[in-house]
Chain A
Amino acid sequence: MRNLLCLPALALAASAVQAEPVAIDGGTLQLRVLLGDSTTVSIAPFRLDATPVTNADFAAFVAASPRWGRDAAPSVFRDAGYLQALATAPADYPITHVSWFAASAYCAAQGGRLPTQDEWEYVAHESTHLEPDTYAAMLFAYYADPASHARRAVGAAHVGRWGVHDMHGLVLEWVEDFQMVAKSSTGDSAIGASCGDTARYLADNDPAHYVTFLRYQSRSNYTPRTTTSTLGFRCAYDIAT
């Protein structure tokens, strides 16, 4: 109910925000975290939202799909903090406090899906192209205090290749397969990689690889019901073949 009451305000403020998807060229992702047998992954062309999904975007989704409202969504799909900031956060700020299930449902309603981890990492890498040490320094600072970053409108900075904004430094983002899946020593089952395994999974032992692993690991520590003040998402779209 509270969410519904705040909708008109969000809708009015929403006119400035329009995150059209952009086309992402296919290519090869050089894996920096090695969880399976391969060191590269081929990425097919797809489309990706240019910015993270905003509060206004998500409020419109909830208005159209009330079952995803703050109190209506079943507990199996979200924790207690779900959408707790939606009523008060500015319309053009990234949506946060949103679970993986809710993010997936939002993207499905737009005819899309969450990007895979490999797709997200590919765009993040290809669209920033920072020197490894610059990249590492930037992300160590960000990951040490992500809560201080999620306080501006989407799209304000960090425009990269393909016109993609905000891959780093605004919010952390859900991906379809956010949990690390590593082969067990016997090769017959998948396990979650843990902290102590770090060195096993790095393609190289430099700060840039380590900070990338931190991102994989922090994602992997979420459950699909998790909601936090620093975690948002954007949607990907298949290109019809």
Chain B
Amino acid sequence: MKRTSIAVAVLLLASAPAFADDPHAGHQDMTAAPVDHGESVYHLEGRWTDHRGADFTLASLRGGPVVIVMLYGSCTSACPILVHDAHRLESLLVGDVRKKTQFVLVSFDPVNDTPETLADYATGRGLDDPGWRFVQGDRAQIRALAMLLGVRYRDNGDGTFDHSNLITVLDADGRAVHRVEGLMRPMDAAATAVAGAAR
């Protein structure tokens, strides 16, 4: 609300000279009104490393749909199903949408899930596809990302994590536009959301 009224005030001020017969009134620089991207997950700063050893920021994912999942490599119960669910979602995407969509799987475990471990995980499971990145960050970043996505987790201190199972679809600007909670859920609505975000 405040932002709106400020924007209106700025517009009024900017247009005022036009009424004052000022020959330079039309030369005033008019910057485009900022689009409110306040809800974007990409405000989270910090660098991440993927299983190919590439260093990146979340903001660099901007421009296309992103499917984001949090898990950990040594997880044998829920996580393989979660990965399979993400794979099922990908299989529902067609043509250009599929090419534009990135799958980002972020580990809860900054200690054991090194890029090398994650590379083994990806290749061992046949998931080393171009659009897929298994990602490691530091503890504070992981917690902040989980908070942004609404993923709850606890480090049990023994290499295992209790965590919620969530697949989130981000639009081209990093806003969460669809969430799938739980395991083995239908992926049709998520695929529709990805397709919408790819436009």
Contact = CB atoms under 8 A, between A and B. Distances in A.
Interface of A: 35-38, 41-42, 71, 74-77, 100-101, 104, 108, 113, 176-177, 179-183, 187-192, 224
B143 A177 contact: yes
B143 A176 contact: yes
Interface of B: 2-3, 36-41, 43, 77-78, 139-140, 143-144, 147-148, 152-154, 156-157, 162-165, 182-183
A192 B152 contact: yes
B140 A224 contact: no
A36 B161 CA distance: 10
A77 B162 contact: no
B162 A74 contact: no
A172 B153 CA distance: 22
B147 A189 contact: no
Given A189-B165, A191-B164, A224-B148, A181 B154 contact: yes
A189 B156 contact: no
A104 B183 contact: no
A177 B140 CA distance: 11
11 contacts: A38-B156, A41-B157, A75-B36, A76-B148, A77-B43, A101-B144, A177-B143, A189-B165, A189-B182, A190-B153, A190-B163
A183 B162 contact: yes
Contacts of B144: 101, 104
Given A187-B77, A189-B183, A191-B164, 20 more contacts: A36-B162, A37-B156, A38-B156, A42-B157, A75-B36, A75-B38, A76-B148, A100-B147, A101-B144, A101-B147, A104-B144, A108-B140, A176-B143, A177-B154, A188-B78, A189-B162, A190-B152, A190-B162, A224-B147, A224-B148
B9 to A, nearest CB: 13
A179 B39 contact: no
Nearest to B151: A190
Contacts of B183: 188-189
